[in-house]
Amino acid sequence: MGVLAHHCDQHDINGPVTKQNHDGARISLAGALARHTTLRQLQVFEAVARLGSFTRAAEELYLAQPTVSMQLKKLADTVGMPLIEQTGIRIRLTDTGREVYAACQEVFRAMADLEMKVADLKGVKRGRLRLAVITSAKYLAPHLLGQFGRLHPGIDFSLKVTNRERLIERIENHEDDLYILGQPPAELDVEAHPLVPNPLVIMVSHDHPLSGVLNIPLKRLLEEPFVLREPGSGTRDALFRLLEEHGLPAPVVRMELSSNESIKQAVVAGLGISVLSLHSLALEGTNGPITVLDVLGFPIQRHWYLAHSKGRKLSVVAQSFLDFVRQEGPHIAEELDRKLAEARGATRITRPEKKSDGSGR
């Protein structure tokens, strides 16, 4: 049985359909909410709706599960209609529940704005920024947040790193303020702002036979096994698209891994070559155990975008961050150009005696 069934039956949790005052007359929902609903009840409901789990909501809010169920029952009693349907352990919002969830998000967004505006009047920037980024952007996001945080030390951050499929789900559910991703999803109504270049390069271990070779033909890469992200990832799709544009077949994928860090370890171990964002070398640089190859057609020039749902008003904090990254974007792009130039330079000096095109002649 699910969490709801442990504490009370479905009718008790969802509450009565009508609401009357002590004289037996109907009162408006707005009046009932103002009189009987607490921000804690809205916070609990928002967490359950967002996380899809009583257990996870209780853990996030440091509450016992019976307390979570009790708070939801009180809110449903006040609304007068079912908010949640539960089948086994699966939780689904009713139509009314979805409307209440949207209202909760607006309430807490307005409160966050109020906090920051009051702090501004006091001369102190305060607030919270919720940012979700695609896995390959996890090297970029902390850099941006660090710079922004130094300018506004009173702002807290929530950073969620996930794959593209889950990121799109988060956008659909309005779980965060802003999102950093590659190609903006065409199926969603989002507003996307170009952030910084995201060049994709071919990486090999430093002792790979192609390390130091200049002007390697794209076709030559097909003789090597690849270590790639899972199907549907942006880097994998970009590689396959480039090969198709040149009339070449898909590469031999020796291994699929779900994180860039695992892929880099596999490359260093000699399990294959890979295509990754140049940003993924942010920590080890171009003088570490991985070499960027000089391949014709590379780097694949892509961009990262800072996106948010179109038509949804950004919080003051989110708008401030958006303005900041727009201003800092050109400086970050210059730094990337410098890193790419260093990578190419490292390729040329790693094995200067190799001048072939990689064909083995």
Q: Is it the case that residue 361 has pLDDT exceeding 50?
A: no
Reported as a single tens digit per residue, the pLDDT across 62-96 is: 888 889 889 888 888 888 888 988 877 788 899 99
Residue-range definition of the domain harbouring residue 75: 3-104
Reported as a single tens digit per residue, the pLDDT across 239-260 is: 999 999 999 999 989 999 888 8
- How does the average pLDDT of the chain come out, rounded? 79
Burial (CB count <10 Å: 0-12, 13-18, 19+), residue 204: buried
Helix (H) or strand (E) holding 305: strand 303-309
Domain of residue 15, CATH code: 1.10.10.10
Same domain, 255 and 344: yes
Same domain, 281 and 297: yes
Same domain, 219 and 159: no
Model pTM greater than 0.85?
Answer: no
Domain count, the chain: 3
Domain of residue 139, CATH code: 3.40.190.10
Same domain, 257 and 344: yes
Domain end call among 89, 104, 119:
104
Same domain, 330 and 343: no
Distances, alpha carbon 108 to alpha carbons 15, 43, 84, 314, in Å? 24, 8, 20, 12
Q: Is 292 helix (H, G, I), strand (E, B) or coil?
A: strand
Same domain, 253 and 346: yes
